[in-house]
Amino acid sequence: MKVVLAITGASGSIYGVRLARQLANDPRVELHLVLSRAGERTLFEETGIRAQELRDLASFSYPFEDIGCRLASGSYQTDAMVVAPCSIQTMSAIAHGISSNLITRAADVMLKERRKLVLMVRESPFHLGHLRSMVALSEMGAIIAPPVPGFYHKPETVLDLVDHSIHRVLDLIGCPDANARRWDVEGGGRRMGRSISGTDESSRSQPGEGAAGNDDLHLGAGDDDQ
């Protein structure tokens, strides 16, 4: 399965990091990675991770400006694309067909070829222009999936909250994680667990597992840039 992951300059680069690591460890997935310049900056400011560390996880990576690479053509077949996090600028450009860089062009290809496109839009609050762009994207076939975590899985760390949103995105693109903590209704009662493996403890984030080496991630303001 070929999955394109794009990381923009919106705050919340940890979502891109966790998704990259999940996809890189999935034997079903061939990971294609694109980072914007602002995405590289926010990634380092929020997590201390340099762009090359993420590129090393990917099967293939591409320069942000390379609008002539294979991801820019509908003839190159991919299965899904996720923009995580997705800045308002990137979302708005995709909604209006502005393909001035590889991220927006690759997303436009996904839409025109009727392939799966998931946008983890990271902004709040939304004004009417933002909402109208989301409606337009939904009508074109994109999935708007802001990182809004649930709390039924009893999160104990920041990474528990992050991973809840990541697991939902993995479900959306057809790469479910067996360790995802899921709400389950069984035998007339309710319990929280994992619907695939049947256990519910190993999925919790462990100390030191975070991108910056600890669970007390400093989630800075970041640029809402491409």
Backbone angles phi, psi at 157, to 5 degrees: -135, 170
> Which pLDDT score is estimated for 10?
97
Instruction: Please state whether beta strands 60-62 and 80-86 pair in parallel, antiparallel, or not at all (unpaired).
Output: unpaired
The overall pTM is greater than 0.85: no
- Among 1.20.120.140, 3.40.50.1000, 3.40.50.2300, 3.40.50.1950, name the CATH number for the domain at 2-178: 3.40.50.1950
pLDDT digits (tens, 9 = 90+) for 142-154: 999 999 998 988 9
Q: Give the whole-number percent of the chain exceeding pLDDT 90.
A: 76
In terms of DSSP H, where are the helices of the chain? 13-24, 37-47, 51-55, 88-95, 102-112, 128-140, 158-172
Q: Give the whole-number percent of the chain exceeding pLDDT 70.
A: 81
